[in-house]
């Protein structure tokens, strides 16, 4: 997996949300954020410790003392954070699954996401103190020991609650931004190019002069395509079956114009058809196959659209046997800028993280576009 700024940003957002709904991110990246968060939290506790117990200006200038107490605080913070991390992982696997989390009420989610960190503090704090070289029995037996322990526990509880609400607010903000980005990208994806609209209407008008039944059929296909496209714009979620139906409507519409020069096949596993999918994700690949692969060819060709489950992944493919990626551009032909492909990659990254991919490669003949999404990321 290639690590870049976008991947790191997406992984950081998933770690902040901590809702178990983003399952496609690399595990080591999530552990990296836990490590860095522990390092930052250790700085806070070290400063609080010096504010509470530092005596005189000499204590603040004692770099060895700073390093020693930061090291101890880091061990305690990392121990607590690691146990909380493990608790969330175990509970999400066996009990608080993504499907169950979606059905919980707000108060149930608050109890869960507050209770797990508190449990992690109660388990991890004494273990961390022991690993850092502290002596809990000495603390308990000292005159001020019980007060220190109670104060530390109360501080940890208050900090856990504060962090939970901070993470929750960040999660809501990130989720709102993700939805806005997805809606904007989907709107751009769904825009009907003027030449496609005008060419279709011109063909209908022309057919009305000499083949009225075919003109009616083409107009009906165009109406079905518009209805499906506008319906996708209104929905935040779609399904593989819906996207395949939209692709078929589009191909039927173009077939009325290209006639025998366009042939197509649409196949899908029964299990794959019911999986959720972002709307209008597949149609641009079908459009590219026709516009850049088949339309420039005199003999035309075939577009094959498929959806299947391969191991732990959902695989969507659009393949044509047209001119291919290496074909020289035709004089006067529309030149593609890769905007549709970049748009799809951005939507996949926004929705699923770096685990979802779009690959475009030569098929000999033609071109193959493949979308691959982890099944865990499509969990309802």
How far lies 100's CA from each of 88, 97, 113, in Å? Answer: 14, 5, 14
- 153 with 205, same domain: the answer is no
* Residue 363 CB contacts under 8 Å (≥ 6 apart), including other chains: 319, 320, 321, 324
- 127 with 46, same domain: the answer is yes
CATH of the domain at 211: 3.30.565.10
Q: Residue 264 belongs to what domain range?
A: 200-378
- 180 with 208, same domain: the answer is no
* Residue 194 belongs to a domain: no
pLDDT at 164: 64
* Residue 238 belongs to a domain: yes
- 63 with 171, same domain: the answer is yes
* Residue 231 belongs to a domain: yes
- Bridge partner residues of 55 (DSSP): none
* Residue 192 belongs to a domain: no
- 218 with 156, same domain: the answer is no
- 171 with 309, same domain: the answer is no
pLDDT at 70: 93
pLDDT at 193: 59
pLDDT at 155: 65
- 338 with 219, same domain: the answer is yes
Query: What pLDDT tens digit does each residue of the chain (380 aa) get?
Result: 566 676 777 777 777 777 654 444 567 888 999 999 999 989 988 888 777 766 666 666 778 888 998 999 999 999 999 999 999 889 888 888 766 777 788 788 778 887 888 888 888 888 988 898 877 666 566 666 566 667 666 766 676 667 666 666 666 665 676 677 666 656 655 555 566 677 778 878 888 888 888 888 888 888 877 777 766 666 667 899 999 988 998 898 888 888 889 999 999 999 999 999 988 889 889 989 998 899 888 888 999 999 999 998 999 999 999 988 877 666 555 555 567 788 888 888 878 877 789 999 998 889 999 999 988 777 65
- 162 with 217, same domain: the answer is no
pTM (2 d.p.): 0.59
- 180 with 204, same domain: the answer is no
- 95 with 161, same domain: the answer is yes
Q: Please count the structural domains in the chain.
A: 2
- Bridge partner residues of 367 (DSSP): 320, 362
Look at residues 154, 185, 216 and tell me which one is the last residue of a structural domain: 185
């Amino acid at each position: 997996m290639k690590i870049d700024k976008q991947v790191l940003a997406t992984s950081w957002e998933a770690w902040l949300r901590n809702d178990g709904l983003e399952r496609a991110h690399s595990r080591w990246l999530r552990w990296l954020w836990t490590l860095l968060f522990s390092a930052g939290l250790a700085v806070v506790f070290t400063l609080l410790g010096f504010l509470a117990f530092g005596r005189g200006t000499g204590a603040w200038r004692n770099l060895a003392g700073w390093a020693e107490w930061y090291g101890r605080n880091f061990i305690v913070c990392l121990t607590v954070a690691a146990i909380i991390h493990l608790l969330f992982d175990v509970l999400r696997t066996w009990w608080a699954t993504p499907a169950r989390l979606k059905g919980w009420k707000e108060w149930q989610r608050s109890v869960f996401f507050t209770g797990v960190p508190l449990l992690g503090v109660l388990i991890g704090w004494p273990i961390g103190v022991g690993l850092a070289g502290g002596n809990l029995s000495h603390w308990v037996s000292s005159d001020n020991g019980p007060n220190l322990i109670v104060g530390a526990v109360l501080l940890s509880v208050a900090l856990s609650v504060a962090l939970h609400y901070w993470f929750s607010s960040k999660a809501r903000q990130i989720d709102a931004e993700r939805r806005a980005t997805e809606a904007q990208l989907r709107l751009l994806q769904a825009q009907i190019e003027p030449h496609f609209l005008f060419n279709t209407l011109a063909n209908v008008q022309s057919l009305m002069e000499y083949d009225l039944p075919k003109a009616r059929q083409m107009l009906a296909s165009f109406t079905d395509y518009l209805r499906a496209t506008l319906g996708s714009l209104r929905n935040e979620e779609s399904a593989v079956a819906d996207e395949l139906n939209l692709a078929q409507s589009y191909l039927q519409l173009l077939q009325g114009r290209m006639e025998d020069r366009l042939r197509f096949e649409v196949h899908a596993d029964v299990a794959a058809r019911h999986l959720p999918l972002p709307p209008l994700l597949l149609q641009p690949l079908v459009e590219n196959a026709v516009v850049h692969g088949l339309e420039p060819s005199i003999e035309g060709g075939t577009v094959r659209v498929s959806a299947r489950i391969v191991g732990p992944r959902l695989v969507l493919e659009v393949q044509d046997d047209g001119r291919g990626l290496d074909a020289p551009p035709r004089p006067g032909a529309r030149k593609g800028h890769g905007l549709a492909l970049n748009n799809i990659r951005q939507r996949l990254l926004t929705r699923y993280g770096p685990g979802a991919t779009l690959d475009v490669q030569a098929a000999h003949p033609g071109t193959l576009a493949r979308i691959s999404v982890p099944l865990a990321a499509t969990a309802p």
